[in-house]
Structure 1
Amino acid sequence: MRHSLSIRQIQLWRFAIYIIFALPGFAISSWVSRTPAIRDSLGATTSEMGLIILGMSIGSIIGLTCASHLIAHKGGRFVMVAGLLISAVGLLGVGMGGTLLTSSISVFVGLAVFGFGQGICDVAMNVEGTEVERAANKSLLTGFHAAFSVGTFLGAMAGTAAIKAGISVTVHLAFAMVIILLFTIYVYRLVPAGTGKETGGNAMEPPMSIKERMAIWKERRTVLVGIIVLGMAFAEGSANDWLPLVMVDGYKVTPAMGSFAFSIFVAAMTICRAVGGMLLDRFGRVVVLRASALFAIIGLLIVIFGRSYEFAIVGVVLWGFGAACGFPVGLSAAGDDPRGVAARVGAVSTVGYLAFLVGPPVLGLIGESIGLLRALIFILITVMVAGLLSQAARPIEQASRES
């Protein structure tokens, strides 16, 4: 079916997926930008706010675990659109619960709905991304993930502008919901229906049963690719949550300087993801993954053992370069086999997003005992393991020729 698409249709499909990747990033940063106001409105303590935010993690995990089954039955386009619509409704629920109702339970439920929508959309858009790569015969997933980073940046800027303009949380998040809905309605028609759908296949290639999809988790290659993604996603997610505090506590700098370091990290990641497709097409996955691991290792070592803030910033840049491509490259590798693509990409996505959700709190517990700066050694170890296993991400055809 994919080969019947014209070049123009593939280009439009690719454009739509760029937009769709940007929307979840925009939604997340819209919520994050208003967390201080919601906390103050609820009168919640730090620990209470942590429990409220747990709603998003619970919803995300449920969404991630059932996404591949939904895609297999409904197709990627349906699940992406449903996920974006659900997350938009959840976002509005968070705004209303946080300021109009001032109810912690309402915010918790809103975040759970938001997280569920984000979870199923995350898997579906990565499945679509691997299919666009196959149709276009180009490495595109790193660019799609760069679009997610751009969406996050735009959402953060919009949130900052809303705060400065004195716009209420409810109005701001309602506006964000409208933006998400309008873009979703605009681009969904550009996405072919049925990507990843495995029901109603022909007799020569019957659809995978639920048992077969669950068996994906036992495949050696899928497990190894999942470990690669786990290590690299942990390196990215931990920086997102802890880098400002790492710099403030470890180098005794001001919060503004800590935030600047995080901005540098995000910029380095975005730049590397923007050119990642060209690097992959020229050097291949294994070389890019090994170079990514090496950059991340050198960067982490500089941050951990650097003697000055300025030198540590060099490490932050290298850390950002190293963490940029691991997740999307792993997802691309998971999507090599068209049969079961939703299950494999879903499995690897789940591992990666769990690293985002679970890894940073674990790092915080370790940092409580030995300090955040020394706790980064734990990330260093996981990145080293990812680098050592990078050979598992070879394209299936290449691995078959070499075996």
Structure 2
Amino acid sequence: MTDTPTRARRELTSWRNAVFAIFFLSGLSMATWVSRIPAVRDDAGLALDVVGIVILGMSAGSVLGLIAAPWLLARVGAHRGMVLCLILVACGLVVVGVGSTVFGSVAVLIVGMAAFGFGNGAVDVMMNVEGAAAEREIGKTLMPLMHAFFSLGTVTGAAVGAGASAAGIPVLWHASAIAVLIVAGIVVAVRFVPLRAAVGDEVDAGSPRKPWRRRFVDGLRVWGDVRLLLIGVVMLGMAFAEGSANDWIALAAVDGHGLSNTEGAVMFGVFVTAMTVGRVAGGPVIDRFGRVRILQISAVLGIIGLSLFIWGPSLVPGAVWLAVVGIVLWGLGASLGFPVGMSAAADDPKDSAARVSAVAIIGYFAFLAGPPLLGFLGEHFGILNALLVILGLMVLAGLAAPATRERAAR
């Protein structure tokens, strides 16, 4: 980049920092919900399987958002699309707060979670496509660091959530305050995202916009790429490992290990902190050792960590610290799967939105199937036993890791 004009370098830096901020806001929104799941459960008097159904509302919305994201990118572009989606996320959080604090209503919670999920699912594709574009322009592995800002957002959200829980602040007021912060943050950050032609329009080349049928067919065609499907397997296993922690680690700590709601929120904070550390360190480590080796090591760490979290305090009675060590390894192991999968899917800039959307849909299948599956298993066999499902999926992710190999040196 030494031949890049000074102004261009400044613009690239501002662009990169804006994407960092958007990842942070998305993570902040997610942790706001997750850290208050025990409070929402108590406010509405929900059983574990009903909590799973509420989370399913978010998961279904997320998948719809993922499917809609390429169309939104083609119609309005990432700049406007990310603003619209994060405003929807903020509105969803407020509705969840109303459903919990005011009505204690499952129906209102599901509506709020569906809106929240749609916005986050769509913005997930948009910010990853935007991040991959910035990564290519800058010429360094940045996607893990971008996802580290997502994790940093979750760390912040978990800390605020634990504080709100300890102070007895109602979910509505907590969620509303975070919603205002998200809207203000995206309005400021998006100013530094280039206002380029909508993805897939090809107007920069002087050619007319592709008809929607052509864009639809192009979106379907990427599903025939075996390498992309194997990247999706990596995403499935790692997203399940990450998402199950987001959805269930607080309740697993409370119901499985006998901790308080506040201590459960702290356990979630430990997990997302480990995720953040793994992602901050991930870029340079991947550049040195390659995606495949690092993902295989990550899978092993995740399996060991899950095992310690599930069985550690039982094997050594009262040794909650073993569960904490397990959470750290679990977080480190799951930290790089999603960003590396996104980066691998976007290696070829052609149809990058469709390819990123495809692997994200596969990964988000974990979020769709996971909540009701783990909720059902947790209700009948105990939440810690339900987490055993994740072990097998992490094994599959490790076996599929070679599909993420870099196609060419950066």
* Match of residue 73 from structure 2: 71
Match of 2:339 among 328, 334, 337: 328
Distance 2:168 2:380 in 1: 40
Distance 1:363 1:101 in 2: 26
Distance 2:80 2:190 in 1: 9
Distance 1:149 1:267 in 2: 7
User: Which of 280-289 and 151-160 deviates more?
Assistant: 151-160
Measured after TM superposition, the shift of residue 232 of structure 1 is 1.2
Letter in 2 for 1:209: R
Letter in 1 for 2:332: F
User: Which of 171-180 and 127-136 deviates more?
Assistant: 171-180
CA, structure 1 residues 205+352, in 2 after alignment: closer, same or farther (shift >3 Å)? farther
User: Which of 159-168 and 215-224 deviates more?
Assistant: 159-168
User: Which of 271-280 and 48-57 deviates more?
Assistant: 48-57
Measured after TM superposition, the shift of residue 167 of structure 1 is 5.1
Match of 1:289 among 291, 295, 298: 295
Contact 1:74 1:194 in 2 (8 A): no
Distance 2:355 2:240 in 1: 20
Letter in 1 for 2:146: F
Alignment of 1:90-169 (within 5 A): 90-100=92-102, 104-162=106-164, 168-169=170-171
* Match of residue 273 from structure 1: 279
Distance 1:41 1:371 in 2: 22
* Match of residue 355 from structure 1: 366
Match of 2:231 among 225, 228, 232: 225
* Match of residue 401 from structure 1: none
Distance 2:53 2:382 in 1: 23
Uncovered stretches (5+) of structure 2, i.e. residues with no partner: none
Higher relative contact order (CA 8 A, sep 6+): 2
User: Which of 373-382 and 233-242 deviates more?
Assistant: 373-382
Contact 2:159 2:269 in 1 (8 A): no
* Match of residue 11 from structure 1: 13
Letter in 2 for 1:55: G
* Match of residue 86 from structure 1: 88
CA RMSD of aligned residues (A): 3.2
Distance 2:106 2:380 in 1: 31
Contact 2:27 2:154 in 1 (8 A): yes
Uncovered stretches (5+) of structure 1, i.e. residues with no partner: 399-403
Contact 1:196 1:342 in 2 (8 A): no
CA, structure 1 residues 114+265, in 2 after alignment: closer, same or farther (shift >3 Å)? closer
2:174 alignment partner, SS class: helix
Contact 2:35 2:250 in 1 (8 A): no
Distance 1:239 1:168 in 2: 23
Contact 2:131 2:146 in 1 (8 A): yes
User: Which of 299-308 and 198-207 deviates more?
Assistant: 198-207
TM-score (norm 1): 0.86
* Match of residue 241 from structure 2: 235
Letter in 1 for 2:285: L
Q: Deviations over 1:20-75 (max 9, x none)?
A: 01112222333344555555665666655554444323322211121122213322
2:408 alignment partner, SS class: helix
Match of 1:213 among 219, 226, 239: 219
Measured after TM superposition, the shift of residue 349 of structure 1 is 1.4
2:331 alignment partner, SS class: helix
Q: Deviations over 1:358-379 (max 9, x none)?
A: 2243234445565554544432
Q: Deviations over 1:369-392 (max 9, x none)?
A: 655545444322222221122111
Letter in 2 for 1:355: A
Letter in 2 for 1:241: D
Number of matched residues?
396
* Match of residue 185 from structure 1: 187
Distance 2:254 2:37 in 1: 21
Question: Does 2:354 match 1:343?
Answer: yes
CA, structure 1 residues 383+79, in 2 after alignment: closer, same or farther (shift >3 Å)? same
Distance 1:38 1:81 in 2: 27
Distance 1:143 1:64 in 2: 22
Letter in 2 for 1:115: G
Measured after TM superposition, the shift of residue 394 of structure 1 is 1.4
Contact 1:76 1:195 in 2 (8 A): no
* Match of residue 196 from structure 2: 194
Q: Percent identity?
A: 45
Contact 1:128 1:195 in 2 (8 A): no
Measured after TM superposition, the shift of residue 340 of structure 1 is 0.5
Distance 1:299 1:36 in 2: 23
User: Which of 54-63 and 79-88 deviates more?
Assistant: 54-63
1:272 alignment partner, SS class: helix
Q: Deviations over 1:130-157 (max 9, x none)?
A: 1111111111111121211221222233
Measured after TM superposition, the shift of residue 184 of structure 1 is 1.0
Distance 1:243 1:210 in 2: 38
CA, structure 1 residues 268+99, in 2 after alignment: closer, same or farther (shift >3 Å)? closer
Distance 1:311 1:79 in 2: 43
